[in-house]
Every structure is written in structure tokens, then in C-alpha cells.
Chains A and B, each alone.
Chain A
């Protein structure tokens, strides 16, 4: 027996959903959604749960992650209730719900808190640079060290526990008993979806967006690998240098296009931008751009006299690694693919 909670919609509105009350249960969104089948009605079930405030059912559901926001439901809705954006808001709400630290929720709900966190890290980086007497080599050395440490710690302390929490909420708590073999058999799904976002291809009229997103993910992951493990900024290997240029260029070109779309609002998916969406695309864009510029300055031997460009890059990097990756929109990379994985596990359980 689920208890209706009328206050819940107010909470959800803080994550970006706006007109839950507009829905009059016509079901057009379900009719048009390619994910809907006889068993599961997308996205109406989630809309209804949100209206009724069934937070327990919502946090046990993987549905929001299975939706790749083609926007058909929002364009078809006769009441302009924007179910697509509701699914987006639910993803933010779920991200906050999975996060054991509670910081996700704080940063999603409060723009001032986000800005304060970003500024705090600016001050920290400048303070650190000052302590190093603005010595380029030293700062770059620690910068590289920071990258490795951040990856390890963020993953071990934040992301891994959160994924386990997600599993606990969506599989363990609802009492789904899946054999271990199901987890092994489903691993393929995890890998495929994590690196290809194959499911998004299922959305209609979405091929180009999928392709952009696909090369962006690829570029991002490779740049991460190139800078952290191949030490792009200090390497002399020409192949690695060019590889880094290509990767960072892909990042800032694609994200530039994403930002343009969010400004022009030409598609349902880009119509509504939560601060967390702006932070994500803009920081990714700046990451690509500053990384590219830093390497360029190194290659034309200007970095020694232009330390600020590396400092800017480092600030962006620190903010990215300590705010956006563990608590912000970056997490969708993991949650989406793990949702596909858990979904498959549940399917295999029968």
C-alpha cells in the first residue's frame, strides 16, 4: 500500500520539474513513447508516481534512466505538461537520492551553494599555486598527481558507494532475487551501453545527436586516458601529442554545439536547462578548450610566461573533478549504464 504524499511535487519542482498538475492522464505520452509496452507505461507511470508523491516507488524505479529524452512525449502532450523534462528532473532527484553524502541534492537544489562551491575551489587552487610560488613545473607536477588521486578517491569514496546504494534501492530493497549468473551475463550490456549509449539510437530522429554524444564520450574518455596515463602535457611522443589535440578539439567542438542548442532551444531536449546542465556542458567545453590551449602554449613555448592559462585549466579541472563528476550531471554516465545493467539483471531473473 503506497501512501500519497501531496508535498512531494514541491520537492520535485526544486529539481526542475514544473507543471505536474497539468497532466490529466490522457496517456498520449505513453502512446508516443517507443519504450512503452504492455507491461510498463513510459513516461506516464513516472508522471503519475510523481503527482501522487510515491517517492518509495520512484527511487526503486530504473525507468528515468532508461529514457534518453527524445522529447516526443513533451511535444505530443496536449497540456504542455512536459513529461520529458519531468523524467530529466527525476534523474536529478535520483542522483541526489543515490548520493550518500547528500551534497548532490544540495547542489541541485541551490544555485548559490553551487556557485559558492565553485568559488571555493578557485580560491583553493590559487592559494595552492601561491604556496608553490607560481612555479609552473611544480604546479603541473601536482596537477598531474591531483588527476590520478581525484580519479581514485572520487570513485572509491563517492561513486562506488552510490552505485551500490542504487543497487540496494532498485534491486535489493524491492526484494528482487537475481542469481549471480545473471550479473555475469548482463555485464556485456553494462559495457556496451556505457561506451556506446546504444539505447539512445532507439529514439526516433536521434541519429545525429547520438553520434555527437558518442564521439564526445569517446573523446572525453580518451583524453582522460591521454592526460592521466600518457601524461599528454609532458610527453614528447608526437602521436600522443596529436591524439590529445584531436580529443580535446572533439570535446570543445561538440560541447560548443550542445551549448548552442541549449541557447537556441530548438529541440524539446534543449528547451529547459537546469543550472546543472549548463555547468556540465560549459565546464566540459572549457576543459577541452583549456587543455588544447595549454598544450598549444607548451608547443609554441609560451607557457612559462603565461602560467595563468594552466591555472585556469587547473581550476576548471578541479571544479570538474570535485563537483561535477561526483555530485553533478557527470554521474549520468554511470547511472544510465548501470540502470541498463540492473534492468537486464532483472529481466534475466525472469
Chain B
């Protein structure tokens, strides 16, 4: 029990004192048990008052402090700081809000406001009376980070972390690095190819001795929490020895009888079970896709490097933080959306980019030369009826860039953009102007009246009621219809379930706060980067990758983490594991452990956020929140329901 409590009641200029009689409040609480000193002050947060408080605490040896002023959101940390500067443990400070909760809310009733203020200050005194000094929970952290996904975002983050001094495990599910960017040729504005970007990043990743790259690898298990994640990584073999000559490899590919759609080319071409995506890809070692391989053995006969004896490996790795950069999938239109899957010259934008890649002099699709290209925008984005309400951001720019590329590469191309408003934001605006000047035609409609694609007389037509031509019905005879598909979360996003990373309404990984904490998740130690978080272009992915790397690094840099001590604790005697606390916990902070022959719940302090969701659901009242115990709260309630305070 405290015996020397200091109470400060703030005027807040007139914000409080115009409605609350602060002197009366002071008089009402000065004789409360334990109160040694009570003062009113014009501005409690002013430097001069803070200095006075520090000297009061030091000289008069105060053991508890209450400031009755504004919302704790504004100044709780300020006055905790005052306590710490005076050498008093900051948990001996309690904040009473008599501005937002009293003077502003009850400006019509000064007597009632004063009475309520007295109640609130007395309740704070009751709480501070029981307050205990607490020390932060210290957690050792491993100076290593697992980066999941070796696309541009993952590789950039890995390089940054390694340069800062962390050990980095770069885990890529595919056999080749580069993700989506390796699928693109020239990129917008910079005129570099995606492959060039990947080469530059890959070279730096490989040069760095602190980065270990795993391909064909996935996290399959996760234990532990921030500072000490214990992950199990499954590494699938490529079934190729490191030394592999080009000639033999080509023979091995040629003899392979298995043909499957090539996902690297968005299924517009076929590949063998032995494959590499493009000639200079990384790592420069082919792989055998065991899901489709028939083990016929023909490749082994012609290529010595083929090695079917390689086994799947499992590695246990300890890291302090996990950075997710798992990327996106392009939206796959269902059969029949704008004729997709039904009319054979309707393809998606990613497919079109690969078509351009494979056609040099003339643009040919299904054996016919293409002249008129119709682009239908916002397919799978900004949906009126579907779930994808968001704008995919990259597509307007990418489409226009691709349209210009096609026009410059082939003769006689006419581009028709069936859009819902063009958003080539930022520097890409120049591309919109360029395409316009090149004679691209823009036609616009609203989401409730989209264009219609139909095949008749051996031709494909795109029809629209064009807003820009006074809603006139127009049609284009298109040789190729390109559906501008947006970004959607990865089809296989099981990593999110494994790490319990929450997803937003758009089903992408969700950050804590869109503006203030954009790369952290509610799972401490797990950060997110790139398009796994939502549609982003390459530049935006780089930005988020670098900030996620910084955030992850800040968690592991000192080797030790100081966490808030205000967490839940389990009364081992009272607890009979029922699992209700575990169900209620939004952070998965509970473990089921055996203690003295029975199963009980255990709180992992580095995961618990002290939110208190578990307390009311415990049937045996075996849970307590440090700093806000039942006793603390009950003593406050006792004071609050007292009558005749004045």
C-alpha cells in the first residue's frame, strides 16, 4: 500500500476548470488514504510543471502519482516519463481523464461534472494505491531473419538485412528466384527488363555471405514467437547435380515425354517435366518437377547430371523475425467473363506480355496476324458484385506501357482501351500522354455498364456505350481482346495460416495500421512486404521491402527485446485446461502445458499483448492481468459507486 501519493489536478487552461471546480476536486481527494500531496496546476503537461513534479517526487519521496487531466492517449507516456526521470518506476503512475470524460462531455452540468471528476480521481488513487513496480519482460532474440519469397521485394529486403548485419535465410517456394518480375520484359519508364532487375538483385544476394538462399523450399512448421521463431523448412530437391552442361541438358529436355502447361508463360505454352523458365534464369540449374515426372528414366540416359537419389530435406532454423514477401497471383477470370475461356482470342494482360515476348516481327495469335487490340480494364478489380473492391493500381500503367510496346514493335497496330477511368498515377502519366499521341483510342464506361465481348461471323467484337461519345453504342472488330486482370492474393497462402498473420477484407496480408505501422502485423516479429500486402508496383514493393527489413532488423539488432510486462498470468492451481482462453486470444499467446500431473494453460509473455480478452471467458477465474488485477479494478469500482463524495 502506498503512503505517499501525489495528486495533480489540471485546469487545462480552461478546458477543464471552466466546467469542473478543480479546487473542490483537490479538497475532496486530499484526505483520501495515502494521499500525501495534492495540487492544482494550470497546465500539467507544461515543462515547468513537469519539473515541479520531478522535484516533488524526489524531495518528498512520493511512491505513487496521479495526474487528472486529458486522455491517456495524449499524455500517459508524458507523465510516465516524469516518474521515470524522478527515479520512480513508471507503473506507479496512474492517469485520470477528466477532460474528454468529464469537462467536455458534461459542459452543461458543472455540479455533476465536478462530482464525476472527484469519483474518477478517487478511483485513480484507489488504483495507484495497489500499484506495483514492474520491469519489462526481457526476451533474448536471435539475430537472424527468415525472408519468405525471393521476388524483387524479398531479395531487396534480404540484401538490406544482410548488409545491416543480420543472418538471412531467403526461402523461395519455386525452383527459381525472381517471382513475377522475372516474367516481364521491359518495365515502365525505366526501360530495363524485369530479368535485368532480377539479375542485379540475385548477384548481390549471392555475393553476400550472410544470405542463405533456399529454392524449392517452404516453411512447414513454426514454433516460438518474436525474437525466437523456430521454423522448419522443407527443401524439395531439383534432382540435378550442380555440374550440368548445356548440351546434355537440352537433350534431357528433348527426350522428356511429359508436357504440361508452362505457368511461367501463364499457360500459353507448354513445358517439359524437366524445365527452366528462361535461358539465363537463376539459379542457373534446371529442375525436375516431380509432381508431373513419370520417372520414365529417359533423361537419366542422356544426361549425367540428373540425380533421382536426391531427397527432400527438413531444416530447423531459428530466427528472430520473419519477413513475408510472398507476392501475388494475377486474377484468373472465370470462364465466360468477357468471353475468357470461350472465345479463343480473349487473353489476359500477363499472357499478352508473354505473347509479345515470343513474337518478333509480326504479332501472331492462334496463327492469325493481330492488328486491332482491345484492352478491357479493371477485370477482377473494382468489382461491382465480386469481392475485389480494390483497385489493383499497377494495371492502367502496365496496359498502356504494353500497348505502346506492341505499337512500336509491330507495324499497323491499333490499340483500343476500354477503361473505367485511367489511373496512370505519378511518373507514369507521361506514358498515357505518349499512347494518346500515338493514336491509341480510349473508350470509357461505368462499372454498371461494362463492355461486351461477342464472337460473330468469325470475328470478335467489343461493344461499349462510350461515356466519352455521349453514351453512343460503339464496337470494335478486335483481333485480340486483352483482359487487364488485377492482382489477387496467392492461391496457396498457407503461410498466413501457419504464422497466424491476419488478412484484410481484400484477403491480402493485413498490416496493423495502414498509415502508422504499415509493415508490421499483429503477430509480433512478422513483417510484410511487397504485393503480399496488396497490389503494388515494383517501386512501391521496394519501398515496403526496405521498411519491413528495417522493422525486422530493429527487433533483432540488440539481441534482446524489452516487452511490456502488463500481460496475463495463469494461476496454476486454479487452471483446469478447458481451452476457452486459447480460443478467445487473438494473438495465440496460450500454450497447453503439463504441470504437476494436469494440463494447464501457459501464457507466452512475448506474444501476449495484455488485451484482456481471455479474462472474462475463464470459468475458474484462473487468469489475472498484471497491472490490472481483479483487485485493482474492484477497488476502483468501489470508489466509483460511492455516493455523497462531496
Chain A residues at the B interface, C-beta cutoff of 8 Å:
1-4, 6, 9, 20-22, 24-25, 41, 45, 48-49, 51-52, 54
Interface size of B as a range = 20 to 34
Q: Are B470 and A41 in contact, with the CB atoms below 8 A?
A: yes
Q: Are A21 and B468 in contact, with the CB atoms below 8 A?
A: no
Chain B residues at the A interface, C-beta cutoff of 8 Å:
372, 414, 416, 433, 436-442, 463, 468-470, 472-477
| Least CB distance, A125 to chain B, in whole angstroms | 45
Known: A21-B437, A21-B439, A25-B442. A2 touches B468 (CB 8 A): no
| Least CB distance, B349 to chain A, in whole angstroms | 21
Complex-state Cα separation, A6 to B476, whole angstroms: 9
Complex-state Cα separation, A275 to B228, whole angstroms: 83
Complex-state Cα separation, A52 to B437, whole angstroms: 14
Complex-state Cα separation, A2 to B438, whole angstroms: 23
Known: A2-B472, A45-B470. A24 touches B439 (CB 8 A): no
| Least CB distance, B36 to chain A, in whole angstroms | 73
Complex-state Cα separation, A24 to B477, whole angstroms: 23
| Least CB distance, B400 to chain A, in whole angstroms | 13
Looking at the complex, which one of B438, B463, B473, B477 makes contact with A21 (CB distance below 8 Å)?
Answer: B438
Known: A4-B441, A6-B414, A22-B437. A48 touches B475 (CB 8 A): no
Complex-state Cα separation, A49 to B414, whole angstroms: 16
| Least CB distance, B110 to chain A, in whole angstroms | 58
Q: Are B441 and A51 in contact, with the CB atoms below 8 A?
A: yes
Known: A6-B372, A9-B439. A48 touches B416 (CB 8 A): no
Known: A1-B473, A4-B475, A21-B439. 7 other contacts (CB 8 A): A3-B475, A3-B477, A4-B474, A4-B476, A21-B440, A25-B442, A41-B470
Q: Are A1 and B474 in contact, with the CB atoms below 8 A?
A: yes
Known: A6-B372, A25-B468, A52-B469. A1 touches B475 (CB 8 A): yes
Nearest B-chain residue to A23, judged by Cβ: B436
Q: Are A2 and B470 in contact, with the CB atoms below 8 A?
A: no
- CB-CB under 8 A from A51, the residues of chain B are 441
Q: Are B441 and A2 in contact, with the CB atoms below 8 A?
A: no
- CB-CB under 8 A from B474, the residues of chain A are 1-4, 52, 54
Complex-state Cα separation, A321 to B441, whole angstroms: 42
Which one of B372, B437, B441, B477 has the highest number of Cβ atoms from chain A below 10 Å of its Cβ? B441
Complex-state Cα separation, A20 to B438, whole angstroms: 10
Nearest B-chain residue to A22, judged by Cβ: B437
Q: Are B468 and A6 in contact, with the CB atoms below 8 A?
A: no
- CB-CB under 8 A from A45, the residues of chain B are 469-470
| Least CB distance, B34 to chain A, in whole angstroms | 73
Complex-state Cα separation, A48 to B474, whole angstroms: 12
| Least CB distance, B83 to chain A, in whole angstroms | 62
Looking at the complex, which one of B442, B473, B477 makes contact with A2 (CB distance below 8 Å)?
Answer: B473
Complex-state Cα separation, A54 to B433, whole angstroms: 23
**16 contacting pairs across A/B (C-beta < 8 A):** A1-B463, A1-B474, A1-B475, A2-B473, A2-B475, A3-B475, A4-B416, A4-B474, A4-B476, A6-B441, A20-B439, A21-B436, A21-B438, A21-B440, A24-B442, A25-B442
Nearest B-chain residue to A20, judged by Cβ: B439
